[in-house]
Amino acid sequence: MSHSHRNIKSALKPILLIVALFSFAVTAFSFAQEANADSTDEPHYSTVYKEAKKHLGTSYVYGAVGPTHFDCSGFTKYVYKKSIGKSLPRTAQAQYNGTKKVSKKNIQKGDLVYFGSSKSSISHVGMYIGNGRMIDSQNRGVVTEQVYAPWWHVVGFSHPTDLSYDD
């Protein structure tokens, strides 16, 4: 090997090292950006909850889908669509049938709570807001109330979409 060839080879080593380190840094940075994008792309529970709260006191009308009157499933369908663009089926039974089921112990804020005589005979739906409470449209209009009230018989829970939370 000639003397000049050895000089070129030794001169290339630091350049190759810099290129390798730069490539690693760019890869690590873009990976971090992707991971960050995933967490911020998830719709936020507070967006859904704020939309639901806007309608407290709105009157109940059977078959109504908002925004001036709601029935129970019309309310949950409207809130999810208006707040985060998530489409839900029209009726309480169809919302239960068409969304991912969760157990009582795994329920999260924003999940839906279903009521009726059985899982195949659902007559009411509300949105869980934490601490055993829900927001729903019923004969008193849109209200917040306890999930476990004497006039409701809980038959199931579902997770319509993944949401991110502050707490």
Catalytic machinery residues? 72, 124, 136
Whose CA is closest to 91, among 136, 122, 66?
122
Query: Which stretch of DSSP H or E encloses residue 3?
Result: helix 3-41
Residue 130 token pair: 């934490």
* Burial of 40: CB neighbours in 10 Å, binned 0-12, 13-18, 19+: exposed
E-strand stretches of the chain: 59-60, 69-70, 100-102, 112-118, 121-130, 133-138, 141-146, 154-159
Query: Phi/psi at 126 (nearest 5 deg)?
Result: -140, 165
